[in-house]
Structure 1
Amino acid sequence: MESHSPRRAARAPRSVRPTSILITLAAANIVGAVGGTALAQSNAVPLPGLVVETSKAKAKRAKQPAAQPKAAAPVATAQPPQPSPSGSGGPIVLDGRNSLTVPTTAEIQAELARVPGAVAVVPGSTYQQSTAAATLKEALEYVPGVFVQPKWGEDSRLSIRGSGLSRNFHLRGVQLFQDGIPRNTADGYGDFQEIDPSAYRYIEVYRGPSAMRYGANAIGGAINFVTPTGRDAAPFTASADIGSFGFHRLQSSVAGANGPFDMFVTASWQEQDGFRDHSWGESTRASGNVGIRLSENVETRFFFGVSDIMQRIPGSVTRTQALTDPKAAAGINVTNDWQRNIDAWRVANKTTVLLAPGTALEFGGFYNDRHLMHPIFQWLDYQYEDYGGFARIVDDRIVEGYRNRFIAGVQLHNGRIDNRQFANQPGAVKGALMSSSLDRSENLALYAENSFYFLPSVALVTGTQFLHATRDRADRFLSDGNQSGRTEFNLWSPKIGLLWDIDRTWQAYFNIARSAEVPSFGESSMAVSPPILFTDIKAQRATTYEIGTRGRRPDFTWDAALYRMEISNELMCISNPTAATGTCQVVNADQTVHQGIELGFGAVVMKGLAAPGPSPDKLWLNVAYTLNDFRFDDDAKFGNNILPGAPRHVVRTELLYKHPSGVFFGPNVEWVPQAYYVDSANTLKTAAYGIWGMKLGFDNGGPFSAYVEGRNLSDVAYIASVSITDVAAANSALFEPGTGRAVFAGVKYRW
C-alpha cells in the first residue's frame, strides 16, 4: 500500500481549523470542571421519560414495564416505535425535568408510534459500545429497507427503497437532518463526511413518505441524527478505537445541567490509511448544544457544529479488478491525486413552547456554511451557504370524547452555491478555469396531518404537504455558451392512512401517500450532445401503498412492511456517452415501480443457559431482511428491465450471547445471495457474496465498556457498492471493492 501524508490540495484559506475544534472541547471541559459537583449531581438522577395521561389506573400501569436484566449488552438492531397505551386516552404531557426541545429516546419512541408508516429509532447504545461507529453502515445496517455500503473513508452509498440509485456520487433521494436541522443543501445534494455516528443519542429513520414532518423533498425519506443534551448525557466520556488499515479514533464529550441551563459538547478525531490504495483520510468534528429553560413551559436551545475533513479517493474499478485486486486504486485517481476535502460549520436555534396541556409550538432557524475542495476529473471549488427557518405545532386533545392529534408546520430552506471548476492537473494542481456559476435554490414546504381516533384504538390519519421550489442558475463562464436559467415547481402530496393499536405492544398500519423530489443542480450536464440543462429535468413523483406491523416485547421485537411505489419521471441514467468509463448522465425515465418487503426482528432464542434467575443470560437473534423489486414499467427503451444498482435480497443477521455481568459475544453475517445489475440494459452484474464477523465485548451499563470486533474474517473479495449506467461495457469502471479481513478494538469510559 502506498504511503500517505496529510497533504491537502492547494486551496483557499480554511474558515475552520482542527485546532478550533480542540479548543472548543477544551473550553467545554474547563466549564465542566468548574461546574464539577453541580453538573455531576444533576446527571446522577435518571430523568423520567414520556408520561401518558389517561386514567389513574392506566397511568399506574404505564409505570410498570416488564422485568429486564439489570445489566444487558447492547442489541445491534433498530427498535420499532413502542405503541403507547393512549389510544383513547388524553394528551401526551412531557415531564418538566426533561428537555422540551430534544425528546428523549422514550419520548421519540412514543411520538413515532403515532406515524402510520415505516419508521424506526436506532438508539446510539445499540452500536456505540460494540463497534467502531465510524460509518453510517455500522449505525443503520439492521434497519430493513435501508441499503448503506461504505465506499471509502466515511463516504457511503445510501438508498432507502431504491432512492437515488442513479446518483453515482454524494447523495440524493434521502434528506439528512441533525437535531431536525437540514444537513442537505437546498438543492437536494447530501454528503456523509460530516456525520459522526459516535455523537448521537439516537437516529430516527423515516422510510418513504413517512417523512412528512420534515417537509422532506425526497422520495426515499429522511434520517434525523439527534445529539444528547446536558439533561440526558453522562457528565464526561472518553473513548479510543484502533483497527486494521491504520484506523485510529479518539472521542470525548462533556455534559451537564445547572438550574435552567444545560450543555453538551462532543468532539472526535479519526484517521485511517484505508483498505485500498489512495484512500487515506482524516476527520476532525465537533458538535453540541446549549439549552436554556426560560420557564416551566418554554425552552430554547442553540446548536453548533464544525468539521474539517480530508479524504483521498481510490475510485471505481472494473468488475475483474474489484474481485482480483481489490486494494488497487484507479490509475487516474492516483496520477491526479483525487480528493474530497470539506470545511464546514453550522449554527441553529430551536425554541419549544408548551401552550397548554397537549399543545406545543416549536420554531427556529439555521445557517450552514460548507466549503468543498474536490480535485477529481476537474478541480471543484464550491462554496455552499444554506439558511432557513421552521415552525411546527402539535395539538393532542380529547374532542367530544374522541382523541384527536393535529400537526401543522412550515419549513423554509434556501441556499446558494458559488461554484468554480478548474482543470485538475497531475498532483491535484489547479489549472485553467473550466466553468463557473452562481446557483440559488428556494424551498418552501407546508404540511398538515390529523389523526382522529374514531375507535379507542384505531386512528384515521389524513394529511397533505405542499412544496414550492425554485432553481436559478447564473452562468459566469460564457465561452462554452450561456447555461443560465430558472425553473419552478409547485407540488401537492396528500396522504391517508389507518393506525391500529392492537394492544400495548403491537401496532398495524396502512397508508396511501404521494411524495415528490425536485432535481438538484447535479443532474444537469454539458458533457453530452445535446446538453442536458437542469431546466429540462422534471421533478420525480411517487405514489406509495404501504401496509405494516411493528411491536416490542421483552423477548421479541419486530418491524415488517410491504410497499409498492409507482414513480413518474424517476431520475435515472438514460444517457451514456462513454460506456467504457461508466459515465452516466441523469434524465427522467417514464414510469418505474419500486416494491419490496422489509422485515426486521430480534428474538431471544434461549435464556437461562448459564445464569438462570430473574436476570438471566440470553441468546439474541437479530435479523434484517430486505427484498427489493425495482423495475422499469413498459419503458420505450428498457421495457420491464430491472433497475440497476441494488441487490434483490439483502440479509444481515447476528447471534449475540448476553450475560448479565455485561459480557457479550457472537457471530454476524451479511449475505447478498444474488448478483445484481449495474446497467439499465441488464447486461453486466456484480457478484453474490457472503461475509461474516465476530464481536466480543463488555458493557454492564457502568462507567467502563470495551469491545473487539472482527469483520470479513474469511477475507472474501466482494463488491460492496457500485455506480450505474444505462448500457455497460465489460470494462466499465463501476465497482467499489469491499473491505478485506479487519479487526477493530475500542474502550470507552463514562464518568
Structure 2
Amino acid sequence: MRKFNITLLLYLFSSLLAQSNTSNFTAPKKNYDTLRFKLQPIQVVGFLNSTNPIITPFSISSLTKKHYTFGQKGLTLGESLRSVPGLFIMNDENFAQDIRISIRGFGSRSAFGIRGIKLFVDGFPQTTADGQSQVDNINLSFIKSAEVMRGSSSSIYGNASGGVIQLFTDPYPNKRQVKSSYSSGSFGYRNILSSIANGANAHKYFLKLSYKKYDGFRDHSEMNSFNINMKSSFELNKSSTLNVHYNFVNSPISNDPGSLNKDQVVEDRRSARVQNIEYQSGEKVLQHRLGISYKLKFSARQRLDIISFYTKRVFSNKLPFESGGQVDLNRSFWGMSAKYGINNYLFSNPVSTIIGVDISYQHDMRLRFNNLRGERGSKVFDQLESFRNSAFYFQQTYLLNEKINVIWGSRWDNDKIESIDYYLSDGSGSGFTSLINTSPFIGLAYLVDKRMSVYTNFSNHYDTPTLNELSNDPDSLSIGGFNSKLNPQISKSFEIGSKGHVNDYFYYDIAWFNSKIDNEITSFELEGSPGKTFYRNVGKTQKEGIEMSLSARVGKNVTIDLGYTYSQFKFANFVKNTTNLKGNRQPGIPQNILNSNIYYLNPNGYFMIAEFIRYGTIYLNDLNDQETNSYSILNLRAGNEYKIFATRFKVHVGVNNVLNANYFSNLRMNAWGGRFYEPAPPSSVHLGAEIIF
C-alpha cells in the first residue's frame, strides 16, 4: 500500500507539472470534436465538473425549474425528488421525524431524518460529519435546481455517501426584485413567503423569509416553522468572488403522532398512538447556519475554491416512553474545505485534475431525562459525543481519444469518534474509536456518437454509525452509552449504463448496478423499549437493481418524463435469533417503482402538470412475513401568470392523491407489536398566489 501511495503521489505531481505552464501553452493541433474535447473552465464540485453529462461515467439526474417552481406546496423535498429513479422517499407528513430519503437502498435504515447520503446546498454541506442530514432549515421556494448522483461516492465526499444530492438556490436577478406569496390548503396548510433580491451590482444579495404551518391529517401532527435564507456575493476583482450564506430556522412545534398497528389503522386512520399523546411526543428546533466561500480564478484553466461553515443546532424532543424519553441536544458542527482544479493537456490529450482537503468537526452535547407524561423528570443521561474527520482526495478526468473518457481517483479519510459519559451512577458508557478508510473509484465512458454513450464504473463506499445510533446500546444496563459493537458498513459497487439523446426530442438514461455490503446497519426495536430505535450490523447484503428514465418532448409545450426502478436488495448472510434470513429481501424498499409526469408549460405562463407514481409491495421486517399492498398516487397542478405593466401575478391550484389511495406516508421497520404504519392523508387541495415586482 505504501509503495502504491508513493507511486500515485509521484504520478499526480508529474501530472500537475505537465499542466502548470499555462501561460506559454499551445494546444496540440488535432482535429478533435469540440463537443467532446473542448474543456470549459473547471467547476470544482466533485463529480459534477463536466458541462456535458454524456461523457460522465456515472448516473446523474438533473432537476430543473419545472420540478420546483410550478404550484407545489413547498413543505418537503419529496415533492420534487420523488420522480428520480433509484430514490425512495417517505415520511413527508411527520415533521417531528423529518423526511427519509434512500438512494439505491442507502439511507433506508433511518428511523428519522436522512442517513447514508450526502446533501449540499450551493456547495455547503447539510450533512454532519457522522452522516446525518436534516432539511427542516431548507426553504424549498429558494431552490432553483438539483443534481442527484445515484451511486456510491465516498471517493469524493467521504463518509455516508451512498448517493449525493446537490441543491442550487435561485440566481440573483438582473435588477431589484420583490416577491410575496401566500398558499393555503387542506388540513390547515399555510405557507407565507417574502423575498427581496438584487444582482445588478458587484455586491449581490438575496433575502427570503417564510412561515409554514400545517395541522396535519392525523391527530397530534401539528407543525409550524419560521425560516430565513440569505445569500450575498461580492466580486472582489475580475478573478475572485466572496460568497456569504446564512440560514436560520425556528420550529417550536413538530408533534409526532407515532405509528399504528394494522387494527388501529382499520379503526381510525387519523388517530395518533395513545402513548404519543400521553407523553406529548414531538420536537422543537432552533438552528443557525453560516457559510463562506472564496473562489479564485488563477487563469482560464486553474481555479481554487475554499469554503468554511458553522452550524449551531439546539434540539429537544419528547419520546413516547418514560425512561430517558426527553432529549436535549446542543450541536456544533464546523468545517473547512479547499479544492484546486486545473485543466490542460497531458501526452497530447485533455486532462482535468482536482485535488482537495476536507476538515470537519461535530460536537454533540446530549442530555436525557425521564418523560413523566410530558413533564420533565430526573436526568438519566449526560454525554458528550464528538466526530472528527480529516481527508485528502483527488479526481482526474482523462480523454484517451475521440471515444473514451476515463475518470478515476481516491479519497483517504481519518475519522475519530468519541463519547464521554458524565453520568456515572449507572456505570461508564464512554468509548472511543478511530477509523481509517481508503475509497478508490474508476469510471469509463465510451462515446457511441456525439450524443450517446455507454459507461461503467467501480467504487468503494463506507458508512459509519451516526453518533445517535452509537448512543443507544441494546446490551447496556444504562440508558445510553457507546455501542462499541456497531461497526461501519463497507460496500463495493459496480455499474453499467447508457445515456444520451436519440434525437432532438428524446433523452434516455438506463443503468444496472450491483453493490455488496459488509456489516449493513439496520434498525430494530426491543420489547422492553417500544418506540425506541436501536441499530445492529446484519452481516452481508447485496443490492442489485435497474433504473430507467426517458424524457420526451411530444409537443410544442408538452414534455413527458417516464421512470422505472427495479430493486432486488437481499440479505446474503444474516442469522437472527438462530433463524437464517439469507435470501430475504431487505425491508423498507419497494421492489418496483414506476412514475410518469406530464408537463404542459406555456411560455406565456400557463401550466398544467400531472404526476403519477406506482409503488410495489414493501416488506416491513427482516422475516418478510409482513408487507404492504401496492398503491398508486396521482397529483395534479395548474396555474397561470398575468402581467400588468412591470408587475407579474401568479396563481396556482393543486390536488394531491386524486385517486384517494389508502397508503402510508411512513413505515417503521421491525417495529415492536406490529406498529409499522403511519397513514397518509386522502385527497387534499392547495392553492396559492404570488406577486412579483
Residues 405-416 of structure 1: pairs in structure 2 closer than 5 A? 405-416=352-363
Question: What letter matches 1:199 in structure 2?
Answer: F
Contact 1:468–1:490 under 8 Å retained in 2 = yes
Paired residues of 1:650 and 1:671 also in contact (CA < 8 A):
yes
Residue number in structure 2 paired with 1:140: 81
Post-superposition offset of 1:372: 0.5
Mapped to 2, the partners of 1:126 and 1:661 lie a distance apart of 18
| 1:320 Cα deviation after fit | 3.5
Tell which deviates more after alignment, 349-358 or 199-208. Answer: 199-208
Match of 1:559 among 509, 528, 534: 509
SS of the residue 2:658 aligns to:
coil
C-alpha change, 1:496 and 1:279, in structure 2 (3 Å) is same
- Report the counterpart of residue 217 of structure 2 in structure 1: 275
In the alignment, structure 1 residue 437 sits paired with structure 2 residue 370: no
> 5+ residue gaps in structure 1?
1-52, 60-83, 95-99, 608-615
Are the counterparts in 2 of residues 118 and 208 from structure 1 also a CA contact under 8 Å? yes
Structure 2 SS opposite 1:133: coil
Equivalent pair of 1:440/1:472 in contact (CA under 8 Å): yes
TM-score normalized with structure 1 length: 0.81
The Cα of 1:630 is off from its aligned counterpart by 0.6
**1:305-320 counterparts in 2 under 5 A?**
305-309=247-251, 310-320=253-263
CA contact 1:166–1:723 (8 Å) conserved in 2: no
| Structure 2 CA distance for aligned equivalents of residues 172 and 417 of structure 1 | 17
Could you tell me how far apart the structure 1 residues matched to 2:126 and 2:113 are? 13
**Corresponding residue of 1:359:** 302
| CA–CA distance in structure 2, aligned partners of residues 321 and 569 of structure 1 | 35
Partner of 2:371: 424
Match of 1:549 among 486, 491, 498: 498
5 Å-filtered alignment, 1:179-218, equals: 179-210=122-153, 212-213=155-156, 215-218=157-160
Q: Corresponding residue for 2:658?
A: 713
Task: Mark the CA change 1:441 to 1:529 in structure 2 (over 3 Å): closer, same or farther.
Answer: closer
- Structure 1 segment 493-532 matched on structure 2, within 5 A: 493-524=439-470, 528-529=474-475
**Mean Cα deviation higher: 296-305 or 527-536:** 527-536
Partners of 1:643 and 1:680 within 8 A in 2: yes
Decide whether aligned partners of structure 1 residues 506 and 210 sit closer, same or farther in structure 2, where only a CA change above 3 A counts: farther
Map of 1:72 onto structure 2: none
Indicate whether 1:350 and 2:293 are aligned. Answer: yes
User: Does the CA contact (< 8 Å) of 2:588 and 2:669 recur in 1?
Assistant: yes
Q: Could you say which residue in structure 2 is the equivalent of 1:240?
A: 182
Structure 1 range deviating more: 247-256 or 652-661? 652-661
Matched position secondary structure for 1:126: helix
Q: Is the 8 A contact 2:633 2:659 kept in 1?
A: yes
Match of 2:562 among 582, 607, 623: 623
Mapped contact 1:163–1:173 kept (Cα < 8 A): yes
- Alpha-carbon deviation of 1:424? 1.6
517, 536, 550: which one aligns with 1:601 = 550
Q: TM-score, normalised by structure 2?
A: 0.88
2:15 equivalent in structure 1: none
Amino acid at match of 1:117: F
- Aligned residue identity for 1:401: S
> Any conservation in 2 of the 1:413–1:442 contact (CA below 8 Å)?
yes
Structure-2 separation of matches of 1:568 and 1:452: 32
Change in CA separation of 1:559 and 1:252 when aligned onto 2, cut-off 3 Å? farther
- Is the Cα contact below 8 Å between 1:469 and 1:488 reproduced in 2? yes
- Quote how far apart the aligned CAs of 1:268 are: 1.1
Task: Determine if the alignment matches structure 1 residue 295 to structure 2 residue 237.
Answer: yes
Q: Sort the Cα spacing of 1:442 and 1:58 in 2 relative to 1 into closer, same or farther, 3 A.
A: same
Whole-Å separation in 2 of the counterparts to 1:508 and 1:237? 44
Cα shift at 1:580: 9.7
Q: In the alignment, is the contact (CA less than 8 A) between 1:229 and 1:289 conserved in 2?
A: no
Partner residue in 2 for 1:398:
345
* Residue 18 of structure 2: aligned partner: none
Structure 1 residue 505: deviation in Å?
3.5
Greater share of residues in strand: 2
Residues 562-584 of structure 1: CA distance to partner in whole angstroms, max 9, x if unpaired?
111111111123x6532994754
Tell me if the contact between 1:489 and 1:518 (Cα under 8 Å) persists in the aligned partners: no
CA deviation string 1:490-543 (max 9, x = no partner): 000111110234444333321011111111122235563356843222111111
1:585 aligns with 2:528: no
Question: What CA distance in whole angstroms lies between the structure 1 residues aligned with 2:590 and 2:676?
Answer: 15
Deviation at 1:677, TM superposition (A): 0.9
List aligned pairs for 1:152-191, cutoff 5 A: 152-154=93-95, 155-191=98-134
Question: Residue type matched to 1:143 in 2?
Answer: V
State how far apart, in whole Å, the 1-side matches of 2:676 and 2:72 are. 29
Q: Give the corresponding residue for 2:59.
A: 118
Q: Please give the alpha-carbon distance, in whole angstroms, between the structure 2 residues aligned to 1:58 and 1:352.
A: 33
Q: Distance in 2 between matches of 1:431 and 1:416?
A: 25
| Matched residue SS, 1:535 | coil
Contact 1:142 1:600 in 2 (8 A): no
Q: Tell me whether 311-320 or 224-233 shows the greater mean CA deviation.
A: 224-233
CA apart distance, 1:153: 4.6
Q: Would the aligned equivalents of 2:419 and 2:482 in 1 still touch at CA under 8 Å?
A: no
Contact 2:154 2:161 in 1 (8 A): no
8 Å CA contact retained: 1:319, 1:686: no
Distance, in Å, in 2 between the alignment partners of 1:671 and 1:92 is: 40
Aligned to 2:202: 260
* Kept after mapping to 2: 8 A contact 1:422/1:430: yes
Given that 1:511 and 1:546 are in contact with CA atoms closer than 8 Å, whether structure 2 keeps it comes out as yes
Question: Using CA pairs below 8 Å that are at least 6 residues apart, which structure has the higher relative contact order?
Answer: 1
Report the alpha carbon displacement of residue 716 of structure 1 after superposing the two structures with TM.
2.1
Matched residue of 2:625: which SS? coil
Question: Per-residue displacement from partner, 1:25-49 (whole Å, max 9, x unpaired)?
Answer: xxxxxxxxxxxxxxxxxxxxxxxxx
Match 1:92 to one of 6, 28, 40 = 40
Over the aligned positions, Cα root-mean-square deviation in angstroms equals 2.8
Amino acid across the alignment from 2:507: T
Task: List per-residue Cα deviations over 1:678-724 (Å, max 9, x = no partner).
Answer: 11111111222122232222259993433211111232221232111
Q: Deviations over 1:341-399 (max 9, x none)?
A: 11000111111111122211101211100001111141111000001100111111123
SS of 2:115's partner is coil
Corresponding residue number in structure 1 for 2:283:
340
Whichever residue aligns with residue 87 of structure 1, its letter is R
Question: CA shift at 1:166, angstroms?
Answer: 2.2
Distance in 1 of aligned mates of 2:132 and 2:603:
45
Deviation at 1:400, TM superposition (A): 3.5
Quick check: 1:641–1:680 contact (8 Å CA) kept in 2?
A: yes
The 1:323–1:648 alpha-carbon spacing in structure 2 relative to 1, beyond 3 Å, is: farther
Count of residues paired in the alignment: 649
Residues 300/642 of structure 1: CA separation in 2 closer, same or farther (3 Å cut):
same
Q: Structure 1 residues 111, 374: CA separation in 2 closer, same or farther (over 3 Å shift)?
A: farther
Change (3 A) 1:703 1:539: same
Query: Which of 659-668 and 688-697 deviates more?
Result: 659-668
Superposition deviation, residue 287 in structure 1: 1.3
Q: Is contact 1:580–1:733 with CA below 8 Å preserved after alignment?
A: no
Letter in 2 for 1:360: R
Aligned to 1:32: none
| Residue 31 of structure 1: aligned partner | none
C-alpha deviation, 1:549, in angstroms: 2.4
